């Protein structure tokens, strides 16, 4: 199984690159942000709770996110592998994911970490906010998301670095150029 953690700050292009990776490698996309937005639109109890956190750019509590991931993983019977997009976002989530995959006799193959500077992130998220009306793509919320990323999420890099699974990838350039870099990294996996 090819299990990839696609990592990076908000606006680094994880969703865009995930779509291309699904097509090429036949992987299942597991985006915790997408699942949460779906729960919000369906007004489930999880959605109602998650909305309050997401509107402020805070993280949804680990426990809720973890339950959601277990359900999603167990829905697939014979997957080629998963792209984890926006998960794990805390060290607690990373430890949990390791246990969960070990129990299922598999593991993370690699963490691909998209590198994008802060000015470019803000520019992209503001543009997406204008184009899609996504409510957390508003300047004060964007700034908080970036802060939360640096404080709670960036430390997850060390978790994978210690296991020699961390691969930084330049996230600037055209969508195709970035995708080619990702394909290069996956091609080097043993």
The CA distance from 176 to 161, in Å, is 26
CA-to-CA dists, residue 116 to 121, 166, 178, angstroms = 7, 16, 11
87 binds ligand ADP (CB under 6 A): yes
Ranked by CB distance to ligand ADP, the top (closest) residue is 33
128 part of the active site: yes
Stretch of residues binding ligand ADP (CB under 6 A), selected from 28-36, 110-118, 163-171, 174-182 = 28-36
Instruction: Tell me which of 51, 89, 124, 181 is the catalytic residue.
Output: 89
Task: For residue 30, give the H/E element and its range.
Answer: strand 28-31
11 binds ligand ADP (CB under 6 A): yes
The CA distance from 104 to 21, in Å, is 23
51 binds ligand ADP (CB under 6 A): no
Choice from 10, 51, 112, 167 touching ligand ADP (CB under 6 A): 10
65 binds ligand ADP (CB under 6 A): yes
Choice from 4, 40, 54, 156 touching ligand ADP (CB under 6 A): 54
49 part of the active site: no
Q: Beta-strand (E) ranges in 118-185?
A: 166-170
Minimum CB distance to ligand ADP smaller for 17 or for 32 = 32
- Per CB under 6 A, contacts with ligand ADP among 124-143 are 136
Nearest to 89 by CA among 58, 50, 115, 126: 58
75 part of the active site: no
Token match 């055209």: residue? 174
74 C-beta neighbours (distance < 10 Å), count: 10
* Tokens representing residue 109 in the block: 């193959």
- 159: phi then psi, degrees, rounded to nearest 5: -55, -45
Choice from 5, 51, 110, 145 touching ligand ADP (CB under 6 A): 145
β-bridge partners, 85: 6, 31
Catalytic positions: 14, 89, 128, 134, 145
Residues that bind ligand ADP (CB under 6 A): 10-11, 32-33, 36, 53-54, 57-60, 65, 86-87, 89, 93, 136, 145
């Amino acid at each position: 199984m090819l299990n990839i953690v696609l990592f990076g700050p908000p606006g680094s292009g994880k969703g865009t690159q995930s779509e291309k990776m699904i097509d090429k490698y036949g992987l299942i996309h597991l985006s915790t942000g997408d699942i949460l937005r779906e729960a919000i639109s369906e007004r489930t109890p999880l959605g109602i709770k998650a909305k309050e956190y997401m509107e402020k750019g805070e993280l949804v509590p680990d426990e809720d996110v973890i339950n959601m991931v277990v359900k999603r993983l167990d829905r697939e019977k014979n997957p080629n592998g998963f792209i984890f997009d926006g998960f794990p976002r805390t060290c607690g989530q990373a430890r949990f994911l390791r246990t969960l995959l070990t129990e299922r006799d598999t593991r993370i193959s690699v963490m691909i970490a998209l590198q994008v500077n802060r000015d470019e992130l803000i520019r992209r998220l503001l543009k997406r906010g204008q184009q899609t009306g996504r409510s957390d793509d508003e300047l004060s919320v964007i700034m908080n998301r970036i802060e939360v990323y640096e404080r709670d999420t960036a430390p997850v890099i060390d978790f994978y670095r210690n296991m020699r699974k961390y691969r930084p990838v330049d996230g600037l350039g055209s969508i195709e150029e970035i995708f080619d870099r990702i394909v290069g990294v996956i091609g080097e996996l043993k």
